[in-house]
Chain A
C-alpha cells in the first residue's frame, strides 16, 4: 500500500526557514519510474508545483520561488525533505507531497498518490 505523510511545523514566523518532511512507504525512492514532488495550495486557491526529486537524484524547482527551495532525500529512511527559506505570509498554504510517475522514457506522467497535506501558517 502506497502512502505519503507530510510533517513539519504548523506555524512559522516571517523570514524563517521552513523544513517539511515527506515519509513514504509502499514504494522505493530508488525505483527508476517513481519520484516525489512537492505541491502547495493557498487557502481557496489553485495548486502550485514547487519541486521534485527523481530516482537518479535529479532535482527541479519552480523558478518563481527565486532560489528559496531545496529538495533532498534520504533513501535509507524513505524521506524527502523540502526546505523553503525567507518565509512570507503569502507562503501560508497546505503543502502536499506526491508520488511522481515516470513513463517508459522517464518523462513525468502524473502524480498518482498524494499525502493528506500539512497546513503551514506564516505569521508573527
Chain B
C-alpha cells in the first residue's frame, strides 16, 4: 500500500497567514493526488485534484503543487472559514489511501 505522510499534524495559525501543508508519498503516484477539507460534523470537501487543479467553486487562495513524491497544499491569506482538518489522498494505485490529516486551528 502507498503510505501518505502529512506534516504537520497540527498547525496553529492566524487569519491572514499563509499556510503550507505537505504530503509525502511512500512511492511515486504521478499526479494522482487530491486534497480535501473537513470541518467537524461534515463530510470532506474536495479542494484540489490532479495535484494542482482547483475544484470548481473553491477559492483561489487554495493551491496545490508537486515535486516528485512530495505534494503541497498552500492557503494564502487564511480566512476564518478555513480552520478545519485537511487530508491528502492518492488515487494512483489500490488501495486508495489518505494521509493522517492536518488540523488547522486558530492561534
Chain A residues within CB distance 8 Å of chain B: 37, 46-49, 52, 60-64, 96, 98, 101, 103, 107-112, 114-117
When the two chains form their complex, are residues A109 and B98 in contact, meaning their CB atoms are under 8 A apart?
no
Measured CA separation A48–B36 after assembly (Å) = 13
When the two chains form their complex, are residues B44 and A114 in contact, meaning their CB atoms are under 8 A apart?
yes
Within 8 A of A (CB), among B77-107: 87, 89, 91, 94-101
Q: Using A46-B100, A46-B101 as known contacts, say yes or no to A111 and B46 having CB atoms under 8 A apart.
A: yes
**Chain A residue at minimal CB-CB distance from B34:** A110
Distance between A22 CB and nearest chain B CB, rounded to angstroms: 12
When the two chains form their complex, are residues B91 and A117 in contact, meaning their CB atoms are under 8 A apart?
no
Having A46-B98, A110-B91, A112-B55, one finds 13 other A-B pairs with CB under 8 Å, namely A46-B99, A46-B100, A47-B87, A49-B89, A49-B95, A96-B43, A98-B43, A107-B91, A108-B96, A109-B91, A110-B89, A111-B46, A114-B44
Q: Which bucket holds chain B's interface residue count?
A: 20 to 34
Contacts of B91 in A (CB 8 A): 107-110
Distance between A7 CB and nearest chain B CB, rounded to angstroms: 15
**Chain A residue at minimal CB-CB distance from B42:** A116
Contacts of B99 in A (CB 8 A): 46
When the two chains form their complex, are residues A117 and B43 in contact, meaning their CB atoms are under 8 A apart?
yes
Contacts of B42 in A (CB 8 A): 116
Measured CA separation A116–B39 after assembly (Å) = 12
Sample of 17 A–B contacts (CB below 8 Å): A37-B96, A46-B99, A46-B100, A47-B44, A62-B96, A96-B44, A108-B96, A109-B32, A109-B34, A110-B46, A110-B91, A111-B34, A111-B44, A111-B89, A112-B55, A116-B43, A117-B43
